[in-house]
Structure 1
Amino acid sequence: MIQAKTRWNLAPWGKDDDQQAKLLSDQLDIPPLVAKLLVQRGYKEKEAAETFLRGGADQLYDPYLLKGMKEAVARIKQASDNKEFIRIYGDYDADGVSSTSLLIHVFRELGYHFDYYIPHRALEGYGMNRGAIDLAAAAGVRLIVTVDTGISAYEQIEYAKELGIDVVVTDHHEPPEQLPDAVAVVNPKQEDCPYPFKGLAGVGVAFKLAHALMERPPMEWTDIVCLGTIADIMPLTDENRVLVRAGLQQLQDTSNTGFRALSEACGIELDQVTSTTVAFGMAPRINAAGRLDHAKRAVELLTTGDYDEAIRSASSLDVLNKERQRIVEGIVKEAEQQWQGKREAAQASSVPEPAVIVLAGEGWNVGVIGIVASKMLERYYKPVIVLGIDAESGMCKGSARSIEGYDLHAALTECDSLLDHYGGHQAAAGMSLHRDQLPAFEQKLGELAMEWLTEQDWIPKTAIDLICSVEDASVHTISQLAQLEPFGAGNPSPRLLLQSAELADYRTMGKESRHLKLSLRKGRAALDAVGFGMGELSEQLRSGLPVNLVGELSINEWNGQRKAQLQIHDIHFGGELMRFPEREHFGQVYQMLRRMRRMPMNGLESQLSQQSGWHEQTVKVMIEVFRELGFIEIDGTHLVVVETPEKRDLATSEKYQAAKLEAERLRMPYVG
């Protein structure tokens, strides 16, 4: 038996959705599977679906809807009219590099007197700092325009004002309670900002500023916007979708010398560029500059017109990226050893292992610790904080990555008294603190995790869009799925469930038989499926039996032939598939509750699961049914059994009927 590694979470599909999908398919002349995916993702009406599929620059919003934009434009134009020296102040990641590069192109076009500044990650750290402001004052700068940074720089901007420097802030990070007293603050996430789309990257906000300054959307530089938006993992919906799609088209025939050199260094064919090649080919090399050297090297690449210079820059970034990979591998090894030591210590003390992974080491390169945190998250599915310690000062700089349900920004806010500085989002954040605070920091983060997260939150989910049959997976349909691109955050590549497909044949492939290849069959239709790194599962498979697979469809081209293929994300094979509990099983669990009478909700599902043998998600459904029928009540954090409940039949519960129908339809090992 091969058990699924994750909870399979199938998106809901309403009674009217089939009819709506058929209508969309006819109206827009698209395959049924594409229409179903549009409906499933919320684009149910023709106009909304057509905008999603084909919307262009006409769908961009008025930049003056952004709070502070009017004041920002006025001050920048005043600086231009008065021949004042302007400094663009950016961040050292790919979004910050893209934002800085975009404004360089725009300010050149507009004839401004300007330069740019990006702090050194290791020597200066994130954001604005007094030393950089002193340098600006010494250079005669009268106006600083921040990009992808500045929203938390209250004290630094006050200092700039003391030196006679005005500041315009453009940023997209979460605003703190006290905003900087700048000439203008442009950030769609400001509480009272009416801008309709809050998901812009830093480069997206910079693009809106450029739009306002130039009095037109500068679509010729959407290739740069595309890079920063994808690299910063912003949702590829709404306005971002328009900008990234336009940027990918721009990249296919770009006039940007740096992008052409970068694609050569990456081995990317620009005429076939996708969001995936940008994310995994271009973005890491742009990021490598700020991680290991200085981000200005990447800015120079994206803003030069000299091809020889661009080739040299792109080649050096490629070398830096290889060095970055080597450094990451070394830190991951040390981090793994440290984490295993913590787990063993917890086991020896008969206490649970830490709920949040907090790892710190002297000499760990702070430029790559975010990557290390991501790798640890993938392996253990726990919130992770990785910190580099300065041996002399004892100061730690950290980077965090989180799981669904654990808000890093909120958690760091709760730890405010322990931290020197912090910032970020729900899923990713950075912080600095002294090493003496690490034990209290780790303890507080763990306590918050136990308070905020349920048993189910610790199990990774695989989100599934639709059920797909082997017959549906044709080359024609898969090629039509490209209409939904670009894929990324907020618009992931469609994940489909193949249920009870007959396993016609299977074999291993690749070096050391590391990979798995399956041949699936349903009637006369056939489909290949590939599981990378799944070769060891072959010993548990048997031909002729049904298999359940979750994966993404693609087209495999080999020797001039094009075949449909499923890339496997998760697999369930053999053993008893999910059963829905009968009345007697509901009765057994209810009697367990009656014996306890009143009990804490925290950990209850896990306890009942162990006692009854039913999966925790099934136990959760049972509790919801009992509550709907009035057999139990929830009193704050406790479940209370009603003493003399009204007699009600299970069949009268809507939750019971819906769960039973869903279980019969899915027959899956995990349903979250």
Structure 2
Amino acid sequence: MRRLHPQAPKPRWILKPQPSAAALRVLGNYPPQLATLLWQRGLKTQKTASVFLNPDFTQRADPRVLKDMEKAVERLARAQKHHERVFVAGDLDHDGICGAVLLSGFFKDMGLAHEAYMPSEEEGHELSYVAVERAEKFGATLLITVDFGVSSKSAIAWARRKGMDVIILDHHMLPQDLPEAYAIIDPRYLGTPTPLSYLCGAGVAFAFVDACARGGILPQKIRDQNSYLRSFLDLVAMATIGDLVPLQGDNRSFVREGLTVLGERKRIGVAALCGIARLKEVVGEDDVAFLLVPPLNAARRLGNASLAYDLLRVRTVKSAEKLARSIGRANAARQTAAKRFIKEAMEKIERENEIPWVIIIGDASWPMSYLSILASRIKDRYHRPVFVWSRHPEGFLRMSSRSIPAFDLVDAMQKCGGGDFFKKYGGHPQAAGGDFEANKFVEFERRMIAHAKTLLSPENLMPTIEIDLELKGHELGPELSKSFEPLAPFGKENPRPRVAVRQLRVISVGKPTKGWFGKISVVPENGGRLITVFAEQDHPAFNFRQGDIIDMVIEYSRLFGMSADKTALAILVDAHLH
């Protein structure tokens, strides 16, 4: 098989197509740079631009159009009428946790007897037999999964044998052989209307509650349906941002409004999370992604994802602050351990003479809760499909995978044996996972490498950086950043604007001392204000010296944890000598 040099490939800079003068005149109500960004996003008329820039939560799509939704609503109504017990099983990450908290809050308000369960790391990202046993012990006749379920055929069949109906609220790719559940609600079904097709797991849970409300299933005390539903959007926003689903369709209005709800801090656990993150004022999407979601995921590193669930459900400030401190300590330990495991992984890769087109790497000593972090960082560095594995206590191998656009992970696993080879597998095209027996590792590696060799080309393995605008140094500054803000919230399929600027003189280089970021100060060679850019700790730009003349690509972001009126900073994407 052909292989490439072991160093990470250098990305090519590609300037996106720029609008003509006539196209900019159509969007003449907006500043030229904002108009350019709108045009690049396919928003080429005043009407489409206005709808995008002013998302309205009250104009969301009716979720009852989702397959099986009305059937699921009818089943919950029956459970309420007959005083049945409902068991909620959520995935162990931020999405499943937020979805489970959302459903539990709704069921509590409805007066429904319910219990929620978060799996252990060993149980993995699926409905487990342990969860079914807990549901049976609770006396549940209705079991609802959040953020998993479509790949849990055997456990769902067992729950049915125990006398439970199962409603699946999931958003992962649908396997060919679906479970025999009472209802499967998943926006991945073909024909799902676009506004609803991008929902995360908690988003699907919200859609279920919304459909119940539209069907008349609401707590008696509620007079304003939209205000009540709005109170759950802090959870939906955290899950949507953290799960990297597209900020398109209803997701955009959910996150825009949800960030406002987060800023109100009416949920005691959220206020405690903001406290340990030292967030004093505005909550933006960066704050959620870097400061609020990681502690929720860190709870499982303490061996109990229920801690994060409890934090978001807690009713007293004292209990919330105690839980938040425990989770904060776990997150700090997670960051330290992650750096160590990432360093180990990079050293393993770079000890080899060449880097293969698909990276398959693992170590029995790596905790399973770190596999996704490792896979993401390796993929980002080497621009390869990556499978990272560790050994499960029961002896089989568990892997997490991340990929580049040209390589669909779920399709690759299907083509490499599917259900006949893997104990279980599933996820998304660029983020997936699976389990297989340890004695199959050599065969797995052989099949996956052969598939990658057939599918990929050298061009697929060359990373690219798409640039929205190329500007002069004197055009950079907080005014430019403010002109970008109407596009917020930023995220997948609505990325932060990236700007190329050339001929900048390096004034100082400050390598990271604590945390992940260091800063580099530059000034335009032809005159202009001092610009400070921040870069992650292992960025090669820290090798620049004072006086070097460089070109760079930056993206704008509010400083994490600072209020919206503070000067915006730039995040360094890439740089090289001029």
TM-score (normalised: structure 2) = 0.89
Task: Report whether the alignment pairs 1:466 with 2:474.
Answer: no
Could you say what secondary structure the match of 1:569 adopts? strand
Question: Aligned partners of 1:563, 1:151: CA distance in 2, in Å?
Answer: 46
Note closer, same or farther for the CA distance 1:338–1:221 as it changes in structure 2 (3 Å cut). Answer: same
* Shift of residue 525, structure 1, vs aligned partner: 5.0
Q: Name the residue aligned to 1:181.
A: 180
Say if 1:168 and 1:182, in contact at 8 Å, map to a contact too: yes
Question: Aligned partners of 1:337, 1:564: CA distance in 2, in Å?
Answer: 36
Q: Name the residue aligned to 2:3.
A: none
Question: Aligned partners of 1:530, 1:571: CA distance in 2, in Å?
Answer: 11
**Superimposed CA distance per residue, residues 59-82 of structure 1 (whole angstroms, 9 cap, x where no aligned partner):** 310011111110000001100110
1:378 to 377, 380, 401: 380
1:573 to 541, 566, 577: 577
Q: Name the residue aligned to 1:53.
A: 53
* Shift of residue 24, structure 1, vs aligned partner: 2.0
Task: Report whether the alignment pairs 1:119 with 2:119.
Answer: yes
How is 1:329-340 mapped onto 2 (pairs within 5 angstroms)? 329-340=339-350
1:287 to 284, 297, 300: 297
Could you say what secondary structure the match of 1:538 adopts? coil
Could you say what secondary structure the match of 2:141 adopts? strand
Say if 1:363 and 1:390, in contact at 8 Å, map to a contact too: no
Could you say what secondary structure the match of 2:429 adopts? coil
Q: Name the residue aligned to 1:39.
A: 39
Note closer, same or farther for the CA distance 1:419–1:552 as it changes in structure 2 (3 Å cut). Answer: same
Note closer, same or farther for the CA distance 1:433–1:86 as it changes in structure 2 (3 Å cut). Answer: same
Question: Aligned partners of 2:511, 2:95: CA distance in 1, in Å?
Answer: 37
Say if 2:506 and 2:522, in contact at 8 Å, map to a contact too: yes
Question: Aligned partners of 1:258, 1:564: CA distance in 2, in Å?
Answer: 28
Q: Name the residue aligned to 1:599.
A: none
Q: Name the residue aligned to 1:108.
A: 108
Question: Aligned partners of 1:572, 1:4: CA distance in 2, in Å?
Answer: 13
Question: Aligned partners of 1:340, 1:433: CA distance in 2, in Å?
Answer: 26
Question: Aligned partners of 1:339, 1:555: CA distance in 2, in Å?
Answer: 35
Question: Aligned partners of 2:35, 2:258: CA distance in 1, in Å?
Answer: 25
Question: Aligned partners of 1:563, 1:140: CA distance in 2, in Å?
Answer: 56
**Superimposed CA distance per residue, residues 283-317 of structure 1 (whole angstroms, 9 cap, x where no aligned partner):** 00000112442111101111111111110111110
Question: Aligned partners of 2:512, 2:298: CA distance in 1, in Å?
Answer: 32
Q: Name the residue aligned to 1:13.
A: 18
**Superimposed CA distance per residue, residues 359-398 of structure 1 (whole angstroms, 9 cap, x where no aligned partner):** 222232101111111222223222111111147x431111
Paired residues in the alignment total 546
* Shift of residue 90, structure 1, vs aligned partner: 0.7
Say if 2:89 and 2:131, in contact at 8 Å, map to a contact too: no
Question: Aligned partners of 2:294, 2:166: CA distance in 1, in Å?
Answer: 30
Say if 2:503 and 2:551, in contact at 8 Å, map to a contact too: no
Q: Name the residue aligned to 1:146.
A: 145
Residue identity (%): 31
Task: Report whether the alignment pairs 1:79 with 2:44.
Answer: no
Task: Report whether the alignment pairs 1:490 with 2:493.
Answer: yes
* Shift of residue 418, structure 1, vs aligned partner: 2.9
Question: What is the letter of the counterpart of residue 444 of structure 2?
Answer: F
Question: Aligned partners of 1:521, 1:528: CA distance in 2, in Å?
Answer: 12
TM-score (normalised: structure 1) = 0.77
Q: Name the residue aligned to 1:478.
A: 481
Q: What is the aligned-residue RMSD (CA, Å)?
A: 2.5
Could you say what secondary structure the match of 2:27 adopts? helix
Note closer, same or farther for the CA distance 1:390–1:249 as it changes in structure 2 (3 Å cut). Answer: closer
Note closer, same or farther for the CA distance 1:128–1:551 as it changes in structure 2 (3 Å cut). Answer: same
Give ranges in structure 1 of 5+ residues lacking alignment: 575-672
Say if 1:95 and 1:201, in contact at 8 Å, map to a contact too: yes
**Superimposed CA distance per residue, residues 98-121 of structure 1 (whole angstroms, 9 cap, x where no aligned partner):** 000111111111221111112112
Could you say what secondary structure the match of 1:367 adopts? helix
Could you say what secondary structure the match of 2:28 adopts? helix
Larger radius of gyration: 1
Question: What is the letter of the counterpart of residue 373 of structure 1?
Answer: A
2:237 to 211, 226, 237: 226
Question: Aligned partners of 2:161, 2:568: CA distance in 1, in Å?
Answer: 64
Could you say what secondary structure the match of 2:397 adopts? strand
Give ranges in structure 2 of 5+ residues lacking alignment: 1-7, 215-224
Note closer, same or farther for the CA distance 1:405–1:256 as it changes in structure 2 (3 Å cut). Answer: same
Task: Report whether the alignment pairs 1:245 with 2:288.
Answer: no
Which is further off, 214-223 or 237-246?
Answer: 214-223
Could you say what secondary structure the match of 1:400 adopts? strand
Say if 2:363 and 2:390, in contact at 8 Å, map to a contact too: yes
Note closer, same or farther for the CA distance 1:510–1:248 as it changes in structure 2 (3 Å cut). Answer: same
Question: What is the letter of the counterpart of residue 180 of structure 1?
Answer: P
Q: Name the residue aligned to 1:409.
A: 410
* Shift of residue 476, structure 1, vs aligned partner: 2.6
How is 1:58-69 mapped onto 2 (pairs within 5 angstroms)? 58-69=58-69
Question: Aligned partners of 1:51, 1:81: CA distance in 2, in Å?
Answer: 41
Note closer, same or farther for the CA distance 1:127–1:390 as it changes in structure 2 (3 Å cut). Answer: closer
Question: Aligned partners of 1:294, 1:556: CA distance in 2, in Å?
Answer: 32
Question: Aligned partners of 1:275, 1:531: CA distance in 2, in Å?
Answer: 17
Say if 1:66 and 1:195, in contact at 8 Å, map to a contact too: no
Question: Aligned partners of 1:372, 1:202: CA distance in 2, in Å?
Answer: 23
Say if 2:507 and 2:547, in contact at 8 Å, map to a contact too: no
Q: Name the residue aligned to 2:365.
A: 363
Note closer, same or farther for the CA distance 1:336–1:541 as it changes in structure 2 (3 Å cut). Answer: closer
* Shift of residue 180, structure 1, vs aligned partner: 1.8
How is 1:593-604 mapped onto 2 (pairs within 5 angstroms)? none
Question: Aligned partners of 1:553, 1:502: CA distance in 2, in Å?
Answer: 19
Question: What is the letter of the counterpart of residue 359 of structure 2?
Answer: I
Q: Name the residue aligned to 2:460.
A: 457
**Superimposed CA distance per residue, residues 166-206 of structure 1 (whole angstroms, 9 cap, x where no aligned partner):** 01111100011122221111111113545643110001111
